[in-house]
Amino acid sequence: MKILFGVPIKVHKEIAEAEMDAFKKLGVEVIRSYFGNSGYVNNFFGRLFLILKNAINLNIKAKKSKAEIVYLNTAFDRKTLVRDAITLAIIKPFNRKIKIVLKLHGSIESVIFSRSFLKNYILRNTDLLLLLSQEEFDAFLKAGVNKNKLKITANAINKLYYSPDCYFRNTFNLKNNTLVLLFIGRLIEQKGILDLIEACKLLKEKNFDFKLFCLGDGPLQGRVNELITDLNLQSEIILKGHIPEEETKYFYSNCDLLILPTYREGFSMAIFQAVAAGKPIITTKVNASADYLTEFENCLWIERNNPEDVSEKIIFLAENKEMRSKMSASNLMLADDFTAEKIVEKLNSHLKDLFEN
């Protein structure tokens, strides 16, 4: 079996690389082709040119390598519909027998249920949709997609990437009893970042000793800065901005808790990287987190848009060291279920089924 991988340039690249390596170990021939926008092309014509360039490159590689499967890491939103429809329109006519597999790193419900021509074109010309949660699976099924085209998968994590740095607290002038909190994600409303900052205000009012590291940027950057200043939280919250994915491991390894009060997620890599690092988690019960995490064993659930609940759960875990230790051990065990080898073993079976059916 020959698979041509569309590898993201900016996000999820590490996940795709891990899957490719695992496929190679199974004896599958893998060809790489970079796919997507690095973020430097922002104007309409520039993006259109890049889409066409990437699609033509994929088509050339598919024909030259005689690939049997084109496997694209993508999403299901209005922007990716345009890109993927153009890509399939270029690849399919020249490679009639090739199988198209889309791994969706997130989807928008309104797009799933839309009557968009592009959406319907993509679904007609895709042989397999790989989804990252039961909730997404149910949504596509409800939208009328053939059940045989849908499979649930996961993203690979590796707990060997994480090791604490004994100098971390000295680097940031933190006392031994200061609770280190971590938020990683885009600074957008749906990630719950404003709720988290409001929760930090409540923690400070209770004289709770903590430091929150926020990794990520986004359109709410200015508002986040203003809110931190207005609430006098400059000493408690450190905004690190966007940092390369590789460098985030340093913060996963050295935090005490990961907190993500998100309103909507697919397979949150922030959550599952924390699992791999063996960290207790406070988050909302959505999508893949709901599928794989168990409260009190791996995490504590919080309500959406509820800063008071967030602050109470932080204090609860801070005061329950034994529970934090048990969560850490449970998450390290859970990480073993998400190795690239285990995930790709199942994927390989799904891909083989495409030719048998």
Q: Tally Cβ neighbours within 10 Å of residue 117.
A: 10
- Residue that wins the pLDDT comparison between 266 and 347: 347
Query: For 77-133, how does the pLDDT look when each residue is reduced to its tens digit (9 = 90+)?
Result: 998 999 999 999 999 887 888 999 999 998 999 999 999 999 999 999 999 999 999
Q: What is the CA radius of gyration of the chain?
A: 21
Query: For 184-237, how does the pLDDT look when each residue is reduced to its tens digit (9 = 90+)?
Result: 999 999 999 999 999 999 999 999 999 999 999 999 999 999 999 999 999 999
Collapse the DSSP code of 40 into the 3-class scheme (helix H, G, I; strand E, B; otherwise coil) and give the result.
Answer: coil
Single-letter amino acid, residue 301: W
Which of left, alpha, beta for 218 (phi over 0: left; psi -120 to 50: alpha)?
left
Assign 3-state DSSP to the chain and report helix, strand, coil percentages, each to 5: 50, 20, 30
* Residue 40 confidence class, pLDDT cut points 50, 70, 90: low
Whether residue 178 is found in the same domain as residue 284: yes
- pLDDT over 70 percentage in the chain: 97
Whether residue 177 is found in the same domain as residue 198: yes
Whether residue 230 is found in the same domain as residue 324: yes
Whether residue 97 is found in the same domain as residue 184: no
Domain of residue 46, residue span: 2-156+339-356
Whether residue 325 is found in the same domain as residue 350: no
Question: Encoding tokens for residue 209?
Answer: 């000793």
Number of domains in the chain: 2
* Residue 39 confidence class, pLDDT cut points 50, 70, 90: low
Whether residue 181 is found in the same domain as residue 310: yes
CA–CA dist 219, 107 (Å, integer): 20
Can you give the pLDDT at residue 38?
A: 58
- pLDDT over 90 percentage in the chain: 84
Whether residue 213 is found in the same domain as residue 272: yes
Whether residue 108 is found in the same domain as residue 167: no
Q: Is the pLDDT of residue 51 over 90?
A: no
Of 53-57, 332-336, 337-341, which range is least confident?
53-57
Mean pLDDT, to the nearest integer, of 241-250?
Answer: 92
Q: Is the pLDDT of residue 35 over 80?
A: no
Query: For 1-33, how does the pLDDT look when each residue is reduced to its tens digit (9 = 90+)?
Result: 899 998 877 677 888 999 999 999 999 999 998
Residues in the chain: 357
DSSP 299: E
> Per DSSP, what are the bridge partners of residue 151?
130
Whether residue 25 is found in the same domain as residue 165: no
Q: Tally Cβ neighbours within 10 Å of residue 175.
A: 8
Whether residue 17 is found in the same domain as residue 32: yes
Q: Is the pLDDT of residue 357 over 80?
A: no
Tell how far CA 33 is from the center of its chain.
21
CA–CA dist 278, 227 (Å, integer): 31
Whether residue 193 is found in the same domain as residue 287: yes
Q: What's 295's domain CATH number?
A: 3.40.50.2000
Contacts of 58 (CB under 8 A, 6+ apart): 4, 6, 33, 35, 70, 87, 90, 91
* Residue 45 confidence class, pLDDT cut points 50, 70, 90: confident
Which of 102, 68, 65 is closest to 87 using CA atoms?
102
Contacts of 339 (CB under 8 A, 6+ apart): 156, 157, 158
Query: For 195-207, how does the pLDDT look when each residue is reduced to its tens digit (9 = 90+)?
Result: 999 999 999 999 9
CA–CA dist 54, 317 (Å, integer): 47
Query: For 152-170, how does the pLDDT look when each residue is reduced to its tens digit (9 = 90+)?
Result: 999 999 999 999 999 999 9
Can you give the pLDDT at residue 11?
A: 72
Whether residue 147 is found in the same domain as residue 243: no
Can you give the pLDDT at residue 248?
A: 95
Question: Encoding tokens for residue 338?
Answer: 């998400």
